[in-house]
Amino acid sequence: MADDEQSPPEQQVRLDWTGLKITALVAPVFFLFVYLGKAEIGITLSLVLAMAMVAIKLRWELRGYAWFWVTIGLIVALHIPFLSIIHWPHHSSIPTIAFALPLGIADFLLISGALSLAEKLFSKGHSSDEEDG
C-alpha cells in the first residue's frame, strides 16, 4: 500500500480577504481628498481608518455584544473632533507618512486598549484569556 492512501486528507485553508475589504472601504475616502486637493489629509485619514478597522477585526468575535458596538461608536465619535483639530502640514519637507504612521499606530493601540478594557468591564463570562488556557 502507498503512503498516500493512509494519510488523512488535507484540510483546505480558507483565504482571509480582510486586507482587500479594508482597502476597498478606505479607498473612496482617499480619492475624495485627492479630488479635493488635500492628498496629505487623505493619506493620513485613510491610514488611521485602516488601522482602526484592523483593531476592530482582531476583536471581531465580540461583535455579538452591545457594549462592543457602543465602544466602537464612542471611539468614532471621539475621532471626529480629534482629526479636525490636528494641524496638517502644508507642503512641508517631511513626508506625509512620517506623521501619518505614528497617528495610525497610536490609534490602533488606543482602540485595542479600549476594546480590551470594555471587555474586562462588561463581559462577565467571556474572556480571551480563559479561552487560551
DSSP string, 51-68: HHHHHHHHTGGGTTSHHH
pLDDT in tens, 58-114: 999 988 999 899 999 998 898 888 777 777 666 667 777 777 888 889 889 999 999
Closest CA to 48 of 24, 74, 68, 30: 30
Q: Given phi > 0 = left and psi -120 to 50 = alpha, else beta, which region is 6?
A: alpha
CA distance 4 to 55: 42
pLDDT in tens, 19-67: 899 999 999 999 999 999 888 888 888 998 899 999 999 999 988 999 8
- pLDDT of 1 strictly over 90: no
Closest CA to 96 of 50, 44, 35: 44
